Amino acid sequence: MTQTDALSALRFPTQPEDILRRRRSLRKELLGQPNLVTTRIAILGGSTTTELKSILELFLLLNGLQPTFYESGYNRYAEDVLFENPDLWSFKPDVVFIHTTWHNVSQFPDLMEAEKDVELRVAKEMARFESLWTKIHETFGALIIQNNFDLPNLRPLGNLEAFEASGRVSFLLRLNSQFAAYARTHSRFLINDILYLSAKVGLDEWHSQTYWYSFHMAVSPIGTVALAQNVAGIVKAAYGKSKKCLVLDLDNTLWGGVVGDDGVENLILGRDHPVGEAFADFQRYVKNLQRRGVILAVCSKNDIENAREGFSHPDSVLKLEDFSAFKANWNPKPENIREIATQLNIGLDSIVFLDDNPAERSLVADQLPEVAVPAVGSDVSRFAEALEYERYFEVGKIVQDDLNRSAYYSSNTQRSTHQASFRDYNEFLNSLEMTAEIAPFSGLYLERITQLINKTNQFNLTTKRYTSAEVESIAGDSGALTLYGRLSDRFGDNGLVSVLIGRVRNETVELDLWLMSCRVLGREMELAMFDVLIEQCQARRINMIVGVYIPSKKNSMVAGHYAGLGFTRSSESNTVQEKWQFNVPQRYSTRTRHIRVTGKLIPTVSNA
Amino acid sequence: MTENQKSKSRKEFLVEMDDILGLSAGTLRGDENLEELENWDSTALISLIVLAETSNNVHISPEQVVGCSTVADLLRLAQVDGSST
C-alpha cells in the first residue's frame, strides 16, 4: 500500500495521541484503498469497547481488512454467548475477540486462602472461560482471540502479591498459564498478550482511574492504541497477510562501518564495543526470525566479495548460509529487490526492506510501493523495535512448513545449479526424483492449508480466501471435494504447495479454488493434482468438472490454465469470471510424467 | 509534557479539534455550540481529554467536558492561552 503522509501517523514511530486525534480523517483515507478484504468481528467486552472498536478498525484497514463489527453490551461478554444473543447469532462472526481484563476475574482468593483452594478457584475460573470458548467454536467455528490478564496497578499485599498463593498477581499469572496451555492445544484459539502490552505501555499509562470510573474503560485510550494494533496484527496473520521476507542492507545495518573501506577486521561488531554489541544483538534478533521461517535476503551496494567477507567476522551471528538471496552490486536497490522477489518467487508485497540510509529507503518506498519500508532511523538499537512495532512477521501458529522454509530456499539454490547441468528440461525434471502426496484435507495440515489459501496470489484461479473455520468445515463436508498436495524431491521437502476445493452438485464438481505455491512452478505439480482430481471424480461418479477463473491483477499466469488442460470455455462465462468444462473420461492416462504420486489412500466418499 | 514543551496556542488547539471532529483545518472559530457539531460524541470527548493532557498537561474530567456548551468553553477548560479573555 502507498504510504501517504496521513497514514504515516499509524506507522513506526507513532504518537498514540496523534492517532486518537486524527482517527476520523485516517479512517476516511483508509477506506479509499482498493481491494479491501471484508471480515466480521465480534468484540465481546468485559468493559467498554467503543474506543477499542474505533482504533481497531484503523489498524485493520491499514492491513487491507475492512471489518464489520458486532459489539456486546458493557460486560455482557459471557451472557451474549451463553444465552445466545440473537443479534450475535445472526451476525455469524469470522473472528470473536474476547476483551476481558483483570477486572473480569469473578472472584480473587481470600487473604491467606490455602493453596489447594486457590487451585480450585483457578480451575473454576478456567472452566467458566472454557465454556464460552467451546460454545463459540461449536456454534460459529470462528477464530477466537482471547486476552490473557493484565495486572492491577494497585497491590494491597505489596510484594506478597507476587508469591503468596492468595496474591492477585500470583493468581492472575496462574490463570495466564492455563490460558496459554489451552491455546497450545486448541486450533483457532489465540492469545492476545495484554500482560506484555500493559508492561510495555506501563501499568500507570495502561490503567487510568479517570477512564475506568467515567467510562468503564479497563484500558486507557493510549493503551487502547497498543491493544488495537496488537489485535489487528493477529487478525492480519490469520488472513495470511503477514510478510515473508526481510531484505537487509549491510554496512551500518548489520554491522558498523563500511566493509569495503574499513576491512572486515575493523567492522564494529561484537561485545568489545557498545555499538558493536547492539549490531550483534540485532543480528541475533534477525537470526531468530530466520529460524522461525522468515526468509532473509541481502541487498547492498558493495562488491560481492567484500559483502560476503563481512560474514566471516568472528562476531557475526548471521552466516552466509542464512540468506536465501544475496544481491551485492552497484545497481539501484529497487532493481535488486525486484530480482530478489523473482528469484524467491514471492510478491513484492511479501517483502520488508530494512536500511539505515534514508535516501535508499525513500527510493525503494517511492519506486516499489508494495514493499514495506519501516522508518528505522539510523540507530541500530531501534531496528528490531521498528520490525516488532509493525507486526510484519506475526504468525498465528508456527507450522512445520515455516520451520522448513529456509532449508527449502537453500535446497532451491542447489536445484538451480543442478538444472544448469541439463540441456533438456524433461531430463532435469526426471532427475529430481519427485514424489507427491496428494489427498483430501487432513486435520494435520489445516493450519498450513489456510495459510496458503490466504497468501497465494499468482497461481490462484479464483483468489477466494477462507478462514480457518471455513477450511475445517469444508474438510468435514461430504458435499466438497478437497485436495492438498505436498511435493518432495531429491534435494528436500517443498512442503504443502497446492490446494484445491470443489463443490459437488449431482454429478458435477465446480472448482471454487485451485492454487499452487510459485515455489514449484514448472514442475508438473498442477498435472499431478489434476490426475488425482480425475481419480477422485471417477471414484465419486462425477462426470463433469467446471473450472472457474476469476482474473485479478496478479493471477494472469493462470489465464490459460484450463484451456491448457483441455477444458472448453462454457457459455456461462462473463466479464467477472470465466467458466470452463471438462468431461471426466472413463479411461484416463495420467498426465504427469515426472512425479510419482504416493498419496495417502484416497477414501471414496459417496455423493449422497 | 516536559518543561520545554510549550502549550498549544488557541489557533493550534482549534486545528487539532478540527482533526478530532473530522473537519478541515481552520473550520472551527471557537464560538460554535457543541450540540451543533455533527461529530461531537463520546470518542471525540475522549480524544479531547487526551489532547488537553498531552498538549497542555491539563487533566480534565469527562464531567467537566459535559458541562461545556461551546467550543470556547472547552478551550477555557483546557487552559488554552488566550481562551479566558
In A432-522, alpha helices (H) = 446-455, 468-475
Q: What percent of chain A has pLDDT over 70?
A: 95
Contact B65, B48 (CB under 8 A): yes
Residue A579 has pLDDT above 60, yes or no: yes
Q: Residue A189: which of A249, A234, A151 has the closest Cα?
A: A234
Report yes or no: A607 and A542 within 8 Å, Cβ to Cβ. Answer: yes
Q: Is the pLDDT of residue A2 over 50?
A: no
* C-alpha to C-alpha distance for A506 and A543, rounded to whole angstroms: 9
- For residue B42, list chain A residues with Cβ-Cβ distance below 8 A: 50, 215
Closest Cα to residue A278, out of A299, A296, A297, A255?
A255
Q: Do A222 and B50 touch (CB under 8 A)?
A: yes
Q: Do the Cβ atoms of A25 and B22 come within 8 Å? A: yes
Q: Give pLDDT tens digits for A80-90.
A: 999 999 999 99
| Global pTM value | 0.76
> A480-489 and A434-439 as β-strands: parallel, antiparallel, unpaired?
antiparallel
Q: How far apart are CA A342 and CA A329, in angstroms?
A: 17
Q: Which residues of A touch B20 (CB under 8 A)?
A: 21-22, 24
Q: Which long-range contacts (CB under 8 A, 24 or more apart) does A273-282 make?
A: A275/A380, A276/A315, A278/A380, A278/A381, A279/A254, A279/A255, A279/A380, A280/A315, A280/A317, A281/A381, A281/A384, A282/A254, A282/A380, A282/A381, A282/A383, A282/A384
Contacts of B22 in chain A (CB under 8 A): 24-25, 28
Cβ <8 Å between A215 and B19? no
**pLDDT of residue A303 exceeding 50:** yes
Q: In Å, how far is B39's CA from the nearest CA of chain A?
A: 9
A54 vs B contacts (CB less than 8 Å): 43
Report CA A470 to chain centroid distance, whole Å.
17
pLDDT at A399: 63
Contact A297, A248 (CB under 8 A): yes
Task: Note whether A200 and A413 are within 8 A (CB).
Answer: no
DSSP letter assigned to residue A479: T
C-alpha cell recorded at residue A89: 447469532
Shortest Cα distance, chain A CAs vs residue B43, angstroms: 6
Higher pLDDT, A140 or A413: A140
Query: What is the DSSP code (8-state) at residue A36?
Result: P
Mean pLDDT rounded to a whole number for chain A: 91
| pLDDT attached to residue A583 | 96
Cα separations in angstroms, A220 against A142, A204, A226, A227, A342: 28, 9, 10, 10, 45
**Confidence at residue A272, expressed as pLDDT on a 0 to 100 scale:** 82
As a whole number of angstroms, the distance between CA A315 and CA A287 comes to: 13
Tell me if A21 and B49 make a contact (CB, 8 A cut-off).
Answer: no
* Among chain A residues, CA nearest to B63: A214
pLDDT at A493 over 90: no
Task: Report whether B76 contacts B52 (CB < 8 A).
Answer: no
Q: What pLDDT, on the 0 to 100 scale, is given for residue B4?
A: 45
φ and ψ at residue A155, rounded to 5 degrees:
-130, 85
A105 pLDDT more than 70? yes
Residue A1 pLDDT: 42
Task: Provide CB contacts within 8 A for A47, sequence distance 6+.
Answer: A74, A75, A99, A101, A103, A104, A212, A216, A217, A218, A219
pLDDT level of residue A77 (50, 70, 90 thresholds): very high
Query: Predicted confidence band at A204 (pLDDT cuts at 50, 70, 90)?
Result: very high
Grid cell, residue A291, equals 529460524
Q: Kindly report the nearest CA distance between residue A76 and chain B, in angstroms.
A: 20
Residue B13, min C-alpha distance to chain A (Å): 11
* A432-490 per-position pLDDT tens digit: 889 999 999 987 788 889 888 988 888 999 999 888 788 989 999 999 999 999 998 88
Q: Which residues of B touch A214 (CB under 8 A)?
A: 61-63
Flag residues of chain B having pLDDT under 70.
1-7, 82-85
Give per-residue pLDDT as tens, A383-423.
Answer: 999 999 999 999 877 666 666 666 677 677 677 777 767 77
Q: Which residue of A has its CA nearest to B45?
A: A21
CA A181, distance to chain mean position in Å, is 21
Contacts with A210 from chain B: Cβ below 8 Å: 49, 59, 61-62
pLDDT digits (tens, 9 = 90+) for A541-577: 999 999 999 998 888 889 999 999 999 999 888 888 9
| Type of residue at A443 | G
> Measured between alpha carbons, how far is residue A222 from residues A214, A338, B10 in Å?
16, 38, 24
Report the alpha-carbon distance of residue A245 to residue A347 in Å, rounded. Answer: 10
Q: pLDDT tens for residues A24-50?
A: 999 999 999 888 989 999 999 999 999
Q: How confident is the model at residue A431 (pLDDT cuts 50, 70, 90)?
A: confident
Give pLDDT tens digits for A330-343. 999 999 999 999 88
Position A124 scores a pLDDT of: 95
For residue A256, the 8-state DSSP code is B
- Residue pLDDT, tens place only, A44-67: 999 999 999 999 999 999 999 999
Q: In this model, does residue A239 exceed pLDDT 60?
A: yes
Smallest Cα distance from B20 to chain A, Å: 5
Alpha carbon A42 to its chain centroid, in Å, reads 20
Residues of chain A with a CB closer than 8 angstroms to some CB in chain B: 17, 20-25, 28, 50-51, 54, 210-211, 214-215, 221-222
Inter-chain CB proximity B61 and A214 less than 8 Å: yes
CB-CB: which of A24, A50, A54 is closest to B22? A24
Contact A23 B43 (CB under 8 A): yes
Quote the Cα angle for A574-A578-A581, to 5°. Answer: 125
ipTM of the complex as predicted: 0.83
Pairs of residues, one from chain A and one from chain B, whose beta carbons lie less than 8 Å apart: 46
A150-168: pLDDT as tens digits: 999 999 999 999 999 999 9
Q: Which residue in B has a C-alpha nearest to residue A217's C-alpha?
A: B46
